[in-house]
Structure 1
Amino acid sequence: MNILLTSAGRRTYMVEYFKTALNGSGKVFASNSVLTHTLLQADEYVLTPNIYDDQYISFLVEYCKQKSINAIISLFDIDLPVLSKNRSVFEKENIKLVVSNYEATLICNDKWETYNFLKGIGINQTPSFITIAEAKAALSNGEISYPIYLKPRWGMGSIGIYKAENDAELDVLYKKLHREIFDTYLKYESAADAEKSVIIQQAIKGQEYGIEILNDLDCKYVTTFAKKKIAMRSGETDIAETVDIKEFEDIAKNISVHLKHMALLDVDCFKNNDGKIFVLEMNCRFGGQYPFTHVAGVDVPQQIINWLNGKDTNWDLLHIQTGVSACKEILPTIINKKLNI
C-alpha cells in the first residue's frame, strides 16, 4: 500500500503518522508546489504544478502510475474540490481518493455555504451577512452589535480575519480585506463572486472547541473526537485539551448524515456563555487539531490504512483519552544549504 499526501505543506506530523501506520508495508509519498521540510521526511516526494494548473491532475495521475500509488489524501482545502471533481480520472487507474464528495468540499470551502448548510440542518449559527450593506442594516436595527468579525468567504487559516469594534473600523477593514483577498491565492475561488467575497459575522462570547467527525470510506458515521482550545496560532490550534464528546455527539452525527463526508472532518465550535453550541467552520480534511487527538491515543491514519486494505473498524485505534493537554512546537529547519566558497 503506497500513499500520496498532496499539498503536504508543513504537516510533517502527518507524514510521520502514515509512515508509522504503514510500518514498512508501503511508502508515503508527499507532494507540494514548493519544497518544504515536510516533503523531505516522506519516503519520496515530488514538486507539482499549481493546483489550478491545467496539468495538475494529469501530473498526479502519471506520478501515481509511475510510483504504484494506491491512494491519495489531501491536506489542503483548495486541493479538495479539484481532486474530488476528477475522482473518475483517478478511479479509472485504480487510485483511491480519500477525499469527500465534490458538494461537501464546496460547502466546507465557502463560509457562506457552510453557514446556510448548518442553519438548514438546525445547528446554531451566529448571525452572518454576505454584504456590508446587510451587516450595517442589522447593526442599525439591533439584530447584531459590535464586535463583529470580517473573514474571507473562501478563506483558510488566519488569512485576513479582522475584528471591528465600530462603524469606522468596519468600513476600513472591509476595504482592506477585500483588497487583501485579491492579492493572495484566495483570489482564485473568490473570483466566483468578487462583490460577495467577504463574510461578516457576529462575535460569540464563550469557549472555543474543536471537534473531528470521523466517517468511514463509505461515508458512514463512525465516531467523534473533541478538544477544548486553549491557545491559537495563525488560525490553527496551538494548545488544547481533549474532552468528552457527550455534548457534541448529536451535532456531529447530524453533520455526518447530511454532509456525507469521507474520513475526517475538522470542525470549529463555540459554546457561548449560556451553554449553547455554535458551529462556525468545517474542513474536509485532517486539520490542525488532529495531532492533539493522536497524542491522546487515537490513530486515524492507521484506521484509514486498514479500511483501504478491506479491514473492519478497529475501535482500539479510535479510543481517545480525555483530559490530555498538549501543545505544538515550532522549530526552524534547514531544507537547502548553499555553500559560499
Structure 2
Amino acid sequence: MWFFTEASGSLTSHYLIKAIKEANHKVIATDIDENCYAKRLADKFFLLPKADDPNLWKVIDDVLYKARVDIVIPSLDETLYEWSLKKVTYKEKNINIIISDSDVIKTFQDKWLTYLFFKDNNIPTPKTSLDQEYPLIKPRLGRGSKGIFKATEKVEMKGNISQEIIYGTEYTIDVFCDYKHNPIYIVPRKRLNVKEGKSTAGIVVKHEKIENYVRKMCEATKFIGPINIQCFELENGEIKFIEVNPRIAGGMALGFAATENWIPLIISNLINGEKIQPVKIKYGLKMMRYYSEVFTY
C-alpha cells in the first residue's frame, strides 16, 4: 500500500517513514521544502504549498490521485480539520484518512473547547479563562509552545485564553484507538528532554491514574487511530491534563517501540475491521534521539 505523510521535513518524521517501510509498504513524503531529507528516505516525494496557500488542496488532490495513495496519516495541525471534513469523500475513492471526525478535531484544536471538555467530563485541568484572569497566556488555536507567554501587563485577549501556571513532572501519553473508538494501547511516557517542543528523550512508565483518566476521555468522545495527550503530575500527586493532539505525534516512536508497529494495526483494524490482540507494554523502555545525516547530490 502507498502511505501519504505530511511535513516530512520535520526532525522527528523519519520514524514514521521507517515504520511504514518496516511494515513493507511504500511511502510518499511531502513537504514545503524541496531539499528536505525525507525526499531521500521515502519512495516518492512531492513538494506542497504552504498550509495557507489557496492552491494547497488542489495540489494534494493531484498527488493523491496521481500516486494512487491508499492511506493518509495526517500530522500537520493546520490541515487536520480539513482532512477530517474530506475523509468521507476520499473514502468513496478508496483513500483512507486516518483521523477522528471533524467535531473531535474542532474540540481539541481549540484550547478553550478542550478545557470545557475536561471540565464537563471531570478530567482535572489547570484553571482557565477567556479573560486575563491567570498569568499564562495561550492562543486558543495555537500549537506547541508558539505564542505562549507569561503576562506581566494587560494584553489583548481576543483569540487567547489565560491559564494558571502549574509545575510538576510532564507526561505524554501515546494512545491507539480502534475503529470502535476503544483505546487498545495507552502508553504514558515521562518526558526527560524536550527540544523545540519535541520529545528527544523519554521513558515509558506504568501510571494507572493517568491511564484511567485517558480511558475516561476515550469513553466521552470518539477518537480514531493514534492520538497524543499531555499532562503534568504535581508534587502532591495530582494530575492536570493540558492538551490533546488528535493525531500522530513526533515522540510516538517510543509508543511504537514499547508496543508494536502501529502501521499494520491501521490497516488490519481501522481499514479492515479486524480485531487487535495487544502485546504487553514494555514499561521502563527509554528513548534517546540524535541528529543523523543524509548525503546527496
TM-score by length of 2: 0.90
Residue 207 of structure 1 pairs with residue 205 of structure 2 = no
Following superposition, the deviation at residue 297 of structure 1 comes to 4.0
Following superposition, the deviation at residue 225 of structure 1 comes to 0.7
Following superposition, the deviation at residue 283 of structure 1 comes to 0.5
- 1:198-236 deviation line (CA, Å, top 9, x unaligned): 222111122111112221134333231111122221112
- Taking only aligned residues, the RMSD between alpha carbons, in angstroms, comes to 2.1
Aligned pair partner of 1:299 in 255, 261, 264: 261
Larger Rg: 1
Q: Number of residues paired by the alignment?
A: 293
Aligned pair partner of 1:161 in 121, 143, 148: 148
Contact 2:29 2:39 (C-alpha < 8 Å) held by counterparts: yes
Q: Which runs of 5+ in 1 are unaligned?
A: 136-147, 176-194
**Pairing 1:1-341 to 2, within 5 Å after superposition:** 1-10=1-10, 11-21=13-23, 23=24, 26-35=25-34, 36-132=36-132, 134-135=133-134, 148-164=135-151, 169-171=152-154, 174=155, 195-307=157-269, 308-316=271-279, 319-331=280-292
Change in 2 beyond 3 A, CA 1:8/1:105:
farther
| Off by >6 Å, runs of 4+ in structure 1 | none
Distance 2:256 2:193 in 1: 18
Distance 2:200 2:75 in 1: 18
- Number of the residue aligned with 1:190: none
Distance 2:54 2:290 in 1: 37
Contact 1:232 1:239 (C-alpha < 8 Å) held by counterparts: yes
Distance 1:214 1:77 in 2: 18
Following superposition, the deviation at residue 162 of structure 1 comes to 2.1
Contact 1:77 1:284 (C-alpha < 8 Å) held by counterparts: no
Greater displacement, 226-235 / 56-65 = 56-65
Contact 2:185 2:278 (C-alpha < 8 Å) held by counterparts: no
Following superposition, the deviation at residue 251 of structure 1 comes to 0.8
Change in 2 beyond 3 A, CA 1:155/1:39:
farther
TM-score by length of 1: 0.79
SS of residue matched to 2:208: coil
- Percent identity, aligned pairs only, is 24
What amino acid is the match of 2:102? Y
Following superposition, the deviation at residue 160 of structure 1 comes to 2.3
More helix, by proportion? 1
SS of residue matched to 2:99: coil
Following superposition, the deviation at residue 263 of structure 1 comes to 0.5
Contact 1:267 1:282 (C-alpha < 8 Å) held by counterparts: yes
Change in 2 beyond 3 A, CA 1:242/1:127:
same
